[in-house]
Structure 1
Amino acid sequence: MDFYPEEHNMSLTRFESMLKTNDIVFFDSEEFEAIANHYIENGKIALARKAVKLGLNQHPTSSNLKLFRIEIAIFENKFNLANELLSELHVLEPNNEEIYIQKANIYSKQDEHQKAVDLLEQAVDLTDDPVEVYSLIGMEYLFMEDFQNAKLNFMKCLEVDDLDYSALYNVIYCFDFLEQHEEAIEYLNMFLNKNPYCEVAWHQVGKQYFDLKEYEKALSAFDFAIISDDQFVGAYLEKGKVLEKLGKYNEALENYQITLQLDDPTAFALLRMGKCYDKLGSDELALKHFKKCVHEDPLLDNGWIAITDFHTKRLDYQKALYYINKAINIDSDNLLYWKRYATINHRLKFYEEAEVGYRKTLELGDYELQTWLNRGDTLLKLGETDAAIINLTQALEYFPESAEINFRLSGLNYRNGNDIQGRYFLKNGLKINPEFTIILEELFPYANDKKEVRKLIEKFNT
């Protein structure tokens, strides 16, 4: 029984009134099902449980209410109870596909995904709605990271219902994960032969060509998506990205502008418009859109990075620092923010702040050679030679064949009066790449001028 919204709301009102007054009111079984389903979908499990309990008191033979009871038990991880109830129901209705689906759900929650698939494949033969079951099978294969079988099952959904866009997106997700871009295009073209005005399929074709860097073909695909649905915001956004790649910034701007007219402004569109204006040399408009972008979505890191880089390129480090500080206040664990924070402070000769930035960058997992070197050089400027040695010794674990690290460690150790270690790292550096002795000349003149250092370098070069 399908409820109109008014009838549905009336049933809910009557039910909730009954709970408050403790009066027993009669509902037919379909009303109880609709009420229970409403509460489950809205995450109100306690109310769903009450609806099912009262429903079964009035309609003890209702299979659907029993299934809702099982669904609630599974949601609450009461798997033993759910299995007992499923076994009882299976005796009464051995061909009810929902029993197999719920049993599969239990296996899935217990990470026994292959057992879930086996049960769902039995359910396919019993159901009048194979699309739902194929979709569930596809999801189980995704859990197992078996993208090939997942893809095949989502394709089966589309064979039954070619308007199941959720399945179409999942098929493309699998193609993408398997890096099968050409195969994805071939499949989508077959799909489009049956559904020539499917804007979603054209959109996905365009994205595949974009990934293959075939920008003209991508452009055509997005044009077809727009022809199929001229209100399709995603197609205009993707078309704008392609036009940027082709250097057609004014045309890209036109497409981004259309998205602002069709829907509320998105931070992504504002960001891309800022980038286009930047490329066109319209500094004022670029900055205006970058500011709008971070206002629209303060969590979009690319927005803060764009506005920071905008000022950095113009050597306005004070403004760049202002914006990167704002970004860090919003997300203090963002690696890209800290890298820029360190670089900007270094250029402003705020070495203590720069060192904090480099250290934080390393703590967040950026183990690039240059980050280790920059931190070491900054610690040297601060006179923290011991800390610089510790930093570069850690770096050596990741880059044992780096001449730049070895020469720095040589210079630092000579500077600290540890000539034995200085000599050891100097020899290592010379073996790896003697051209980097310039590091000693520039950063460690004391070490560079030592007689034994000059002799070792000359000996190596003869």
Structure 2
Amino acid sequence: MKDYPFRQDKEDLEELLRQYNDRKAGRSYSFLDEESFEKIINYFDEAEDLVQAQEACDMAVEQFPYSANLLLRKADILIATRKYTEALSILDLAELLDSNDINLYILRTDAYLALDKQPKAVELLENALQLFEGEERIELLFELADVYDDYEEFDKIFDCLKLILEQEPANEEALYKICFWTDFTGRNEESIRLHQQILDDLPYSELAWFNLAAAYQGLKLYEKAIDAYKFAITIDEKFDYAYRNMGDAYIRLRKFRDAIEVLERVLELSRPEDVIFEAIGHCYDRLKNFAQARFYYRKAVHLNPDDSKLYYKIACTYINEEQWNQAVKQLETAMHIQKSVPEFNLAMGECKIRLGETRDAIVYFSNVVRARPKGSNGWEALIRCLYLGEFYDEALEQAEAALRHTEGKPLFLYYKSAILFALGKSKEALLYLERALQKAPKLLKEFVALRPSILQNQLVVDVIARNRKVGKA
């Protein structure tokens, strides 16, 4: 039988269950010891037959009323069956017999949380921390961190994890968790100091290097973050999250070629993800390699076909290459998914202008204005479109509306001046031009770009010259 230990265990358990069922049915009164009862209770618990598990607990406690272990087991089953108050009473009895069992405090915590008594759970665990050391204290700290999570005391979760790592620097669960809570609470400086101390003792801990890097990244110290990530991947060359975060840090530093290299490594190490393809596409976009950018955006679309912004990004690569019809097709797909996104309408309007479809462009720019009446981009595009289409009366009306909604932004003073010149109202136009020059002289180029021939008007040249002299004075 030594060659078949599992079979022996199964036969032993079957015999125990037979004796237990005979005794329960009154057919026999054979003796079952504490360990046997624990095996029977565990069997029913693992089979999720909590009714039978509770019956076994009751019989066990009746036979061994002074067994702290069986009382704790009974409390555990009572908590699983949502009999929290009864469980707390049983735990009081167990404490009289053995107050040094860590499960006493963990089960009480579970009951208090279920009864929505978080302050009692916190108080219990904080007091219990003074009674335990080593692994048991660490277990209680994890339990306390979970209570603080439930109670939304997020800074205290960080504190618990920090205490664990000060006691056990190599604790992987704490290292994984503290990275998230550092980012969530913004306690990056503390995390940096903590992980530097850990690395003094454990210089080959890739998780500690990763957490140090993430904390630097949280403070926007991207060069230091990259250096720390490099240590992490030197220790574990398949650490895909380190490559992923390093890619983000390189993007922040506008080192797009380096970002592409490490993000390609992520694709080698893990399953393809749309966000990684999109990030690589973004890098090629910024390098003005629009064909390659499209290639990766399309890979992202293949994995996430309902993400409208990916189609928009593909459209933008076509816009940068002045392939207006191709851009329109992508924008139509994007707007089929999300019709009213201002950026999509703005891009579509620009394409329509370039294709000579001015009336369609006006509709799209009007959509932007309705969605964001306080933003200047929509108004600027709409007024420019109306002006170029020679709808001067409508352009003037929209320029006045833009001034109202944007609290008098100087750009629209320039636009109103240009429109008044086009309507032959030169005196009024010069007044608005002068006001615009006094408020924002650097925006004069926007006025000239709208109608370059305006500089042939001597009155305009005189107003510009006069205001330049005033500015220098």
Q: Under a length normalisation based on structure 1, what TM-score does the superposition of the two structures give? A: 0.65
- Contact 2:349–2:362 (CA under 8 A) maintained in structure 1: yes
Matched, 1:269 2:265: no
Matched, 1:121 2:137: no
| Residues 413 and 140 of structure 1: CA distance in aligned 2, closer, same or farther (over 3 Å) | farther
| Residues 266 and 440 of structure 1: CA distance in aligned 2, closer, same or farther (over 3 Å) | closer
Of 35, 43, 48, the match for 1:31: 43
Instruction: Report the CA distance between 1:55 and its aligned residue.
Output: 3.6
Of 191, 205, 208, the match for 1:201: 208
Letter in 2 for 1:28: I
Number of positions where the alignment pairs a residue of Structure 1 with one of Structure 2: 398
* Pairing 1:222-261 to 2, within 5 Å after superposition: 222-242=229-249, 245=253, 247=255, 249=257, 252-261=259-268
Match of 1:296 in 2: 303
Structure showing greater radius of gyration is: 2
| Residues 439 and 96 of structure 1: CA distance in aligned 2, closer, same or farther (over 3 Å) | closer
Match of 1:22 in 2: none
- Contact 2:400–2:416 (CA under 8 A) maintained in structure 1: yes
User: Identity rate of aligned residues, in percent?
Assistant: 20
**2:199 and 2:344 mapped to 1: Cα distance?**
43
Matched, 1:56 2:54: yes
**2:335 and 2:309 mapped to 1: Cα distance?**
13
Instruction: Report the CA distance between 1:32 and its aligned residue.
Output: 3.3
Q: Give the 3-state SS of the residue equivalent to 2:237 in structure 1.
A: coil
| Residues 226 and 427 of structure 1: CA distance in aligned 2, closer, same or farther (over 3 Å) | closer
Q: Give the 3-state SS of the residue equivalent to 2:81 in structure 1.
A: helix
Letter in 1 for 2:204: Y
| Residues 409 and 188 of structure 1: CA distance in aligned 2, closer, same or farther (over 3 Å) | same
**1:331 and 1:54 mapped to 2: Cα distance?**
55
* Pairing 1:18-97 to 2, within 5 Å after superposition: 28-36=40-48, 51-60=49-58, 62-70=74-82, 84-85=85-86, 87-93=88-94, 95-97=104-106
Structure 2 gaps of 5+ residues are 1-5, 15-36, 62-73, 96-103, 452-459
Instruction: Report the CA distance between 1:221 and its aligned residue.
Output: 1.7
**1:283 and 1:321 mapped to 2: Cα distance?**
16
- Contact 2:54–2:78 (CA under 8 A) maintained in structure 1: yes
Q: Deviations over 1:283-331 (max 9, x none)?
A: 5444322221221233556644442222111111222222232233334
| Residues 153 and 262 of structure 1: CA distance in aligned 2, closer, same or farther (over 3 Å) | same
Q: Deviations over 1:110-143 (max 9, x none)?
A: xxx66664454346567842132232244256x2
Match of 2:225 in 1: 218
Match of 2:140 in 1: 130
Structure 1 gaps of 5+ residues are 12-25, 37-50, 71-81, 445-453
**2:336 and 2:263 mapped to 1: Cα distance?**
30
**2:121 and 2:239 mapped to 1: Cα distance?**
37
**1:183 and 1:88 mapped to 2: Cα distance?**
42
Instruction: Report the CA distance between 1:66 and its aligned residue.
Output: 0.7
**1:203 and 1:228 mapped to 2: Cα distance?**
11
**1:350 and 1:391 mapped to 2: Cα distance?**
21
Q: Deviations over 1:69-121 (max 9, x none)?
A: 22xxxxxxxxxxx664455445444544322333235437xxxx666644543
Q: Deviations over 1:145-181 (max 9, x none)?
A: x53x332122123345545555435434444455554
Letter in 1 for 2:76: N
Match of 2:17 in 1: none
| Residues 414 and 273 of structure 1: CA distance in aligned 2, closer, same or farther (over 3 Å) | closer
